[in-house]
């Protein structure tokens, strides 16, 4: 590995990833939600119960929040710090893939697969988006690679690699639940059967491996269930098995959705894999009638190729079955796709004199595409952000003041305003229990069922007049909807009108109108 390649591949693209992570406001709802849960954990010191607006939030296990809280305790609560946790996992996935590619196919393939993965949308965008998808994809990838290395050891099963695989599965479970164990197990089970290595399963260090898994993955679930009875049924029953089997959750997509998702995430490299698949299928069909000699200059063991293809197909098929589909679910297949694309390039393109120029052009195209996507996302996200209102609110309010959200829940406002108390959220909560779909309203009142005291932040609409009379109350509502209506503004004073949200103050408040110039903002009141 040359110094030049080390410098460019190890420093340049991860550096670009971290730069892109500074440009966007928090995307809603996911980034606002998950960054705020981590901030709240850091602020309160409650490392057991993830909370959103002070309300228990048990949709996902806590590893992301633990790491965010730890990072914020050192670097402060900023969007970049929250994203740096995800970016670190993306870089770990990338480094591991490079090491494995070098072990499997040599330096040239490792170098190209590194550029392919690191220049993709999956890495440059997915690697700095605050949610659980990149984390679980990383630990799933680590688990699969480690177990595969254990099985492919020349002298039976390598116990050290296998134990590392058990640890990775445990961290995958703490990242996003059962899929952190189920999907690596599915990929590896099919692979060991396909490659006739099933007898080696008995040689795995089951006792020490399972002990490591239990010590890492199980304690939090036990403690959280003891503190909040019913948490396990809620997390695994409703938000894992329920989402997989039900048809009532959001994000319904057709069966071919992940074909498009993969094409976007690994543009343009995925097309090389598709070409390879078509060529391989054609050769197999021709081989039914005549014997052909494989002229591939790359000596790659068939078992490793089988692992990559099984890895891609098993995970995509698994996630294509449920009605609810999200693009982030395809992230675990990015490492094998990058390796398959690099192998095809080495066989078909590398010998050509102009191949290097084409490769550089494709890398440039991929990076430009990712940067353009980040720019478009930045503009769109700013239009829905409450960051401007939060800036004003942080400037003018006192720590003991009450902040009330009406009609909608501004996921990012507590984070940007650095609130130390939960928002009061006004809704018809009793009615919503019968009608609310899979949205923020349900995640709040279902979480409140685990903590009666925290549930006090969910306030009925009938209390609006009482809050208007509170001299220490600030109300936040979506711009140009609901609250701006004259009949609803009685008892309120308009303070600031932002891009997407509007800030009101109780008319009962004493004192002068807040000086927005002192807060670094100009009035945007029409």
Percent of the chain with pLDDT over 70: 88
CA distances from 382 to 142, 375, 386, 413, 495 (A): 35, 11, 8, 13, 20
pLDDT digits (tens, 9 = 90+) for 202-231: 999 999 999 999 999 999 999 999 999 999
Whole-structure pTM over 0.85, yes or no? yes
Helices (H) and strands (E) in the chain, counts: 24, 8
CA distance 320 to 196: 27
DSSP state of 249: S
Q: What are φ and ψ of residue 490, in 5° steps?
A: -60, 125
pLDDT digits (tens, 9 = 90+) for 412-427: 999 999 999 999 999 8
What is the CA angle 53-59-63, rounded to 5? 90
Under 8 Å between Cβ of 271 and 116: no
Q: What are φ and ψ of residue 279, in 5° steps?
A: -65, -45
| CA dihedral sign, ordered 162, 163, 167, 169 | positive
Under 8 Å between Cβ of 413 and 435: no
What is the CA angle 38-36-25, rounded to 5? 120
pLDDT digits (tens, 9 = 90+) for 130-179: 999 999 999 999 999 999 999 987 777 889 999 999 999 999 999 999 99
* Per-residue pLDDT in tens (0 to 9) along the chain, 526 residues: 444 554 455 567 778 888 999 989 999 999 999 999 999 999 999 999 999 999 999 999 999 999 999 999 999 999 999 999 999 999 999 999 999 998 888 888 888 999 999 999 999 999 999 999 999 999 999 999 999 999 987 777 889 999 999 999 999 999 999 999 999 999 999 999 998 888 889 999 999 999 999 999 999 999 999 999 999 999 998 888 877 776 656 677 888 899 999 999 999 999 988 887 777 766 655 444 343 344 443 334 688 889 999 999 999 999 999 888 889 999 999 999 999 999 999 888 878 888 889 998 999 999 999 999 999 999 999 999 999 999 999 988 888 899 999 888 999 999 999 999 999 999 888 888 887 677 778 889 899 999 999 999 999 988 888 888 888 889 999 987 655 454 455 678 888 988 999 999 887 776 556 666 667 665 554 4
Return the percent helix, strand and coil in the chain, to nearest 5.
65, 5, 30
């Amino acid at each position: 590995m040359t110094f030049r390649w080390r410098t460019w591949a190890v420093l340049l693209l991860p550096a670009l990833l971290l730069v892109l992570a500074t440009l966007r406001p928090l995307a809603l709802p996911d980034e606002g939600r998950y960054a705020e849960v981590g901030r709240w954990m850091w602020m309160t010191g409650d490392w057991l119960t993830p909370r959103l607006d002070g309300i228990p939030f048990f949709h996902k296990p806590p590893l992301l929040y633990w790491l965010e809280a730890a990072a914020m305790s050192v670097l402060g609560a900023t969007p970049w710090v929250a994203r740096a946790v995800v970016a670190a996992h993306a870089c770990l996935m990338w480094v591991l893939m490079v090491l494995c590619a070098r072990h499997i196919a040599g330096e040239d393939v490792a170098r190209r697969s590194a550029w392919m993965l690191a220049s993709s949308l999956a890495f440059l965008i997915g690697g700095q988006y605050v949610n659980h998808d990149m984390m679980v994809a990383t630990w799933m990838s680590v688990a699969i690679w480690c177990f595969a290395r254990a099985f492919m050891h020349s002298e039976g099963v390598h116990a050290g690699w296998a134990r590392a695989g058990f640890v990775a599965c445990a961290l995958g479970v703490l990242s996003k639940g059962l899929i952190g164990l189920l999907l690596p197990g599915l990929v590896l089970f099919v692979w060991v059967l396909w490659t006739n290595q099933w007898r080696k399963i008995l040689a795995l260090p089951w006792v020490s491996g399972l002990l490591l898994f239990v010590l890492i993955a199980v304690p939090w679930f036990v403690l959280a269930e003891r503190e909040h009875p019913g948490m396990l049924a809620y997390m695994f029953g409703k938000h894992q098995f329920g989402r997989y089997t039900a048809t009532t959750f959001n994000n319904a997509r057709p069966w071919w959705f992940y074909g498009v998702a993969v094409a976007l995430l690994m543009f343009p490299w995925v097309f090389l894999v598709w070409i390879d698949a078509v060529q391989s299928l054609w050769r197999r069909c021709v081989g039914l009638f005549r014997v052909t000699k494989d002229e591939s200059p790359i000596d790659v063991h068939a078992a490793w190729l089988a692992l990559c293809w099984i890895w891609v197909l098993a995970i995509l098929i698994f996630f294509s079955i449920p009605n609810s589909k999200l693009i982030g679910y395809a992230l675990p297949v990015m490492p094998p796709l990058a390796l398959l694309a690099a192998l095809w390039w080495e066989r078909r393109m590398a010998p050509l004199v102009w191949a290097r120029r084409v490769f550089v052009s494709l890398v440039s195209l991929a990076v430009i595409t990712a940067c353009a996507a980040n720019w478009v996302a930045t503009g769109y996200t700013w239009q829905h952000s409450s960051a401007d209102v939060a800036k004003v609110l942080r400037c003018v309010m006192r720590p003991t003041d009450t902040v009330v959200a009406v009609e909608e829940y501004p996921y990012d406002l507590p984070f940007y305003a650095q609130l130390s108390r939960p928002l009061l959220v006004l809704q018809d909560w009793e009615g919503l229990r019968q009608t609310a779909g899979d949205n923020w309203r349900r995640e709040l009142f279902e979480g409140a069922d685990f903590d009666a005291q925290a549930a006090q932040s969910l306030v009925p609409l009938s209390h609006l007049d009482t809050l208007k009379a509170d001299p220490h109350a600030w109300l936040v509502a979506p711009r140009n909807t609901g609250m701006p209506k004259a009949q609803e503004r009685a008892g309120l004073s308009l303070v600031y009108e932002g891009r997407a949200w509007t800030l009101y103050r109780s008319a009962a408040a004493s004192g002068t109108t807040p000086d927005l110039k002192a807060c670094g903002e100009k009035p945007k009141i029409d």
